[in-house]
């Protein structure tokens, strides 16, 4: 029988994963993102409870002030507002927040 390897622990989410999560890039644009990316974004983050989503047409987000985790880990780190995902040293990543437009 073989051992389990890789990411087997449950990630900590200190917010409701059903809420709408957005992060702000260096240019000041807001992008909707996954909860996994949101918890590791080192920059401005905002959140909106999904229960309010269908009650009005106006969007009212609240600034999110919470812990910052290295991507795909439960290792909490201090923010330094670099407007990027905090990757674990040596982690090979292919995700990007930037969209390519024609």
- 8 found inside a domain: no
Q: Above 80 in pLDDT, residue 34?
A: yes
What is the predicted pLDDT for the residue at 83? 93
The mean of the pLDDT values for the chain is: 81
Share of the chain above pLDDT 70, in %: 70
- Which residue, chain included where needed, has tokens 């920059």? 43
HSE, CB side, 13 Å, CA atoms: give it for residue 74: 8
Task: Give the domain range for residue 27.
Answer: 20-72
- The pLDDT tens digits for 70-79 are 998 999 999 9
- 3 found inside a domain: no
Number of domains in the chain: 1
| Neighbouring-strand partners of residue 42 | 84
- 50 found inside a domain: yes
What is the predicted pLDDT for the residue at 102? 42
- The pLDDT tens digits for 38-69 are 999 999 999 987 555 555 555 688 999 999 99
- 94 found inside a domain: no
HSE, CB side, 13 Å, CA atoms: give it for residue 58: 1
Q: Could you tell me if 86 and 77 are in contact, meaning their C-beta atoms sit under 8 angstroms apart?
A: yes
């Amino acid at each position: 029988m073989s051992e389990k390897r890789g990411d087997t622990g449950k990630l900590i989410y200190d917010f409701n994963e059903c809420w709408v999560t957005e992060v702000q890039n260096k240019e000041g644009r807001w992008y909707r993102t996954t909860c996994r990316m949101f918890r590791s974004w080192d920059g401005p983050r905002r959140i909106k409870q999904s229960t309010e989503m269908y009650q009005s047409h106006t969007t009212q987000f609240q600034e999110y002030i919470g812990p910052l985790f290295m991507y795909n880990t439960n290792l909490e780190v201090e923010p330094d507002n670099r407007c990027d995902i905090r990757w674990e040293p040596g982690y090979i990543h292919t995700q990007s927040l930037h969209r390519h437009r024609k």
